[in-house]
């Protein structure tokens, strides 16, 4: 009798596993709909310069999209091509960062402006799959998206084929059931707040451009959702050079006693960013943020100092 029950149970478990595996294989590369924003690139030199500043500075596209062989030159202040190829081994599999140069076979020469804009704003890839959520640019203004794409299109093409991600069964399961494209919370602005050390500009840089909260806020390891007060300190992260070293993104708000912006003067904050990386292997893209202008750093300081909550 017990044997029969166990056999029946075993068969039921096998059936459930089989159904799950089939569901994963059918659903993992499901396609999503999202609008194609109508934004056209420009050749205006001022727009290209703004795009370069964003890509190698506050928006730190360079931090992920530089080829591994060029990373050392990026660290010393150069701006090598964004030809991709970095691999992130995460529990879902190996995530590979694509080539952003205009090469027509291996880079964004294959993509329309609509494809790129839709990915940055709505998290949907050119093939309709949800992007692995590494990029948080959903709230970028139209003008800044145009600036970045115009700059990327103006660069020399580099032929560098980067294969797509290699997702394992867990990765495919997560793609099948958990990951959905992330879009903006409202309608992103047409223009960015004007340059100058204002709170408004700082809020935009911190939230829409530099993704400071993504690291400096505690979040669920499963869903990625914020579980702690915004910018008041994040979850421990592995150092790039040693997985055993855990670095904790500190509270960067104006919280008395704990917040970096409360502990530091504006000039100290600017000087800290000018100095660049201090803790080897820090995941914070210091080399990119080192290139942020004084005015923008002051805007960031004034904004994070205005944030409270613990
Ligand atoms: C934290 C790492 C990271 C940063 C920073 C980053 N990217 Fe990406 N990017 C990725 C990854 C990973 C993918 C692949 C996403 C996918 O296909 O699931 C990607 C894909 C892309 C693609 C798609 C390319 C194609 O072939 O379709 C574009 C375009 C892109 N990124 C542009 C940018 C721009 C512009 C910036 C800066 C404003 C930027 N990225 C910053 C990691 C990053
Ligand atoms: C990819 C994750 C990541 C992002 C994005 C990030 N940080 Fe950090 N940050 C860290 C980590 C980890 C540390 C602790 C290690 C270190 O000091 O380098 C840190 C440290 C800091 C410190 C303290 C430095 C010191 O010397 O005590 C400040 C201030 C700071 N971050 C501000 C910011 C601001 C402002 C932004 C957005 C413009 C930002 N961070 C974006 C991960 C990040």
pLDDT digits (tens, 9 = 90+) for 168-214: 999 999 999 988 999 999 999 999 999 999 999 999 999 999 999 99
Query: For the segment 17-45, what is each residue's pLDDT rounded down to a tens digit?
Result: 999 999 999 899 999 999 999 999 999 99
| Protein residues whose CB sits closer than 6 Å to any atom of ligand 2 | 206, 210-212, 214-216, 237, 247, 249-250, 252, 260, 272, 278-279, 282-284, 289, 300, 304
CA 101 to chain centre: 18
∠ CA 271-72-93, rounded to 5°: 105
Q: Which ligand is nearest to the CA of 112?
A: 1
Q: In this structure, are residues 80 and 93 in contact, taking their beta carbons and an 8 Å threshold?
A: no
| Spatial distance between the Cα atoms of 93 and 87, rounded to a whole number of angstroms | 10
Query: Which residues surround ligand 1 with Cβ inside 6 Å?
Result: 55, 59-61, 63-65, 95, 97-98, 100, 108, 111, 116, 119, 125-126, 131-132, 134-135, 137, 148
Both tokens of 244, joined, read: 């055993």
Q: In whole angstroms, give the CA distance from residue 214 to residue 63.
A: 15
pTM above 0.85, yes or no: yes
Specify which residues 148 forms β-bridges with: none
What element of type H or E holds 281? none
**What is the per-residue pLDDT across 71-84, written as a single tens digit (0 to 9) for each?**
999 999 999 999 99
**Atom 1 (ligand 1) nearest CA:** 134
Band (pLDDT 50/70/90 cuts) for residue 4 is confident
Between CA 39 and CA 48, with CA 43 as vertex, the angle to 5 degrees is 90
Q: How confident is the model at residue 310 (pLDDT cuts 50, 70, 90)?
A: low
Average pLDDT across the chain, whole number? 95
């Amino acid at each position: 009798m017990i044997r029969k029950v166990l056999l029946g149970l075993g068969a039921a478990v096998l059936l459930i596993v089989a159904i799950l595996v089939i569901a994963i294989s059918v659903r993992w590369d499901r396609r999503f709909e999202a609008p194609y924003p109508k934004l056209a690139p420009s050749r205006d030199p001022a727009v290209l310069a703004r795009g370069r500043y964003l890509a190698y500075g506050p928006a730190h596209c360079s931090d992920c999209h530089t080829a591994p062989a060029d990373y050392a030159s990026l660290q010393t202040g150069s701006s090598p091509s964004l030809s991709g190829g970095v691999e992130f081994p995460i529990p879902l599999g190996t995530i590979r960062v694509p080539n952003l140069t205009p090469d027509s076979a291996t880079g964004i020469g294959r993509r329309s402006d609509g494809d790129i804009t839709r990915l940055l704003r709505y998290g949907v890839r050119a093939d309709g799959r949800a992007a692995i959520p590494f990029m948080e640019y959903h709230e970028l203004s139209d003008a800044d998206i145009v600036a970045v794409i115009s700059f990327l299109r103006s660069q020399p093409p580099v032929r560098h084929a980067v294969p797509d991600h290699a997702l394992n069964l867990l990765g495919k399961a997560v793609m099948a059931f958990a990951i959905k494209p992330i879009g903006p919370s409202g309608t992103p602005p047409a223009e960015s707040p004007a340059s100058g050390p204002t709170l408004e500009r700082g809020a935009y840089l911190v939230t829409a451009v530099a993704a400071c909260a993504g690291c400096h806020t505690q979040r669920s390891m499963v869903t990625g959702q914020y579980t702690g007060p915004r910018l008041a300190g994040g979850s421990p992260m592995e150092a790039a050079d040693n997985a055993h070293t855990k670095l904790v993104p500190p509270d960067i708000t104006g919280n008395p006693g704990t917040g970096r912006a409360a502990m530091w003067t504006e000039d100290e904050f600017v000087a800290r960013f000018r100095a660049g990386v201090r803790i080897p292997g820090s995941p914070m893209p210091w080399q990119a943020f080192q290139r942020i202008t004084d005015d923008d750093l002051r805007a960031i300081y004034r904004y994070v100092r205005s944030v409270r909550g613990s």
